[in-house]
Structure 1
Amino acid sequence: MYTVIGTGRSRAFRVLWMLEELGQPYEHVNAAPRSEGVTAVNPAGKVPVLIVDGTPVLDSTAIVQFLADRHGAFTHPAGTLARARQDSLTQFLLDEFDAALWLAARHTFVLPEELREAGIKNSLRWEFERAQHTLVARMGEGPFIMGAEMTVPDILLGHCLDWALGAKFPIVEHRLSEFQAQMRARPAYQRAAAR
């Protein structure tokens, strides 16, 4: 049994979604970042935190990849070229999608008001649009990022596209809009979203 700590409107959604895809039982503790329940297991106060056999695992991407590796699903074996491509796409999504969205969030509500720079969001939207074109050029044939099989990068991209819409970052590539609709239609996604 796993315990997921973090609000469903944060990156914890990635972990909830992956656990639903895997069909694994878990407890969800709906705790806000930097709250007492979070800082007790992560001194940085960030969510999500996954508790595994009493040990906290931090960072949504590390958690999702750990779960995929542990259960032998939604991933390719370490040391294979397919895994190298998967890891490359994971890093690309973190660098180009997640980073732009997180920086925009920081300058919207995370940083103290006197440190926020509203103008930065225009350049971040521009970067986000360029990254979409690059990603579509790198995607495989098939319904998922790498082609026929759903892998860890699909969870990350699905979450980032939802985040983008909430942050008013346009999705300009039709293939990514279709991908997002396909991900949202997945029963595991819907179960995670219902939490």
Structure 2
Amino acid sequence: MYRVIGTAKSRAFRVLWMLEELGQPYEHIPALPRSEGVAQVNPAGKVPVLIDDGTPITDSTAILTYLADRHGDLTHPAGTLDRARQDSLTQFLLDEFDAALWLAARHSFVLPPQMRLAAIKNTLMWEFETSQKTLAHRMGDGPFLMGPRMTLADVILTHCLDWALVARFPVTEHRLSDYLDRMRQRPAYKAAAAR
């Protein structure tokens, strides 16, 4: 059985949701970043950490990719054009959505107060809005990011859109708002959110 370390209010939510979508059993340990239990399996103290057969795997995207490849679901096969497109969208989300939200969080409450730059949030919000327009043009036809099939990129995008709303980064593209509403209705999303 997998063990997932990290609170559901962190990127660990992505892993919990992925495991729910895959129908895989897991144990959830809702540890905070840099807590003793986390530092034992990840010297950086970051969450999430997935433990599989005694081996810790860190970084939410690496974990999602591992799970998708291992279980042959929520991904396209390696070496295919669909996988290249999926990987491209995943990298776009990490570079343009996740990075902006994480940088805003760092300058809001993570960094020591004397290191925070409050004015950077305006720039990050502008970049986030611009990136939404780009992504709306890249989305496929269908209920999911790539069209008819859900992939791990959908897990990342939905989590980033949820995070954006909590951080007061407006979701300005109607296509993305509608998408988020649909994804939040998934039973696996609801099961992970209930944690």
Same fold, TM exceeding 0.5?
Answer: yes
- In structure 1, the residue matched to 2:134 is 134
- In structure 2, the residue matched to 1:98 is 98
User: Deviation per CA, 1:27-63, whole angstroms, max 9, x where unpaired?
Assistant: 0001000000000000000000000000000000010
- In structure 1, the residue matched to 2:11 is 11
> TM-score normalized by structure 1?
1.00
- In structure 2, the residue matched to 1:79 is 79
CA distance in 2 between partners of 1:85 and 1:97 (Å): 17
CA distance in 1 between partners of 2:46 and 2:179 (Å): 28
Structure 1 runs not aligned, ≥5 long: none
* Secondary structure of 1:18's aligned partner: helix
Please give the root-mean-square deviation of Cα atoms over the aligned residues, in Å.
0.3
Q: CA deviation at 1:168?
A: 0.2
Q: CA deviation at 1:166?
A: 0.2
CA distance in 2 between partners of 1:172 and 1:8 (Å): 25
Structure 2 runs not aligned, ≥5 long: none
Q: Give the percent of matched residue pairs that are identical in Structure 1 and Structure 2.
A: 74
- Structure 2 letter corresponding to 1:88: S
- Aligned residue pair count: 195
Report runs of 4+ in structure 1 exceeding 2 Å deviation.
none
CA distance in 1 between partners of 2:141 and 2:25 (Å): 33
- Structure 2 letter corresponding to 1:162: D
> TM-score normalized by structure 2?
1.00
CA distance in 1 between partners of 2:170 and 2:9 (Å): 19
User: Deviation per CA, 1:132-170, whole angstroms, max 9, x where unpaired?
Assistant: 000011111111110000001100000000000000000
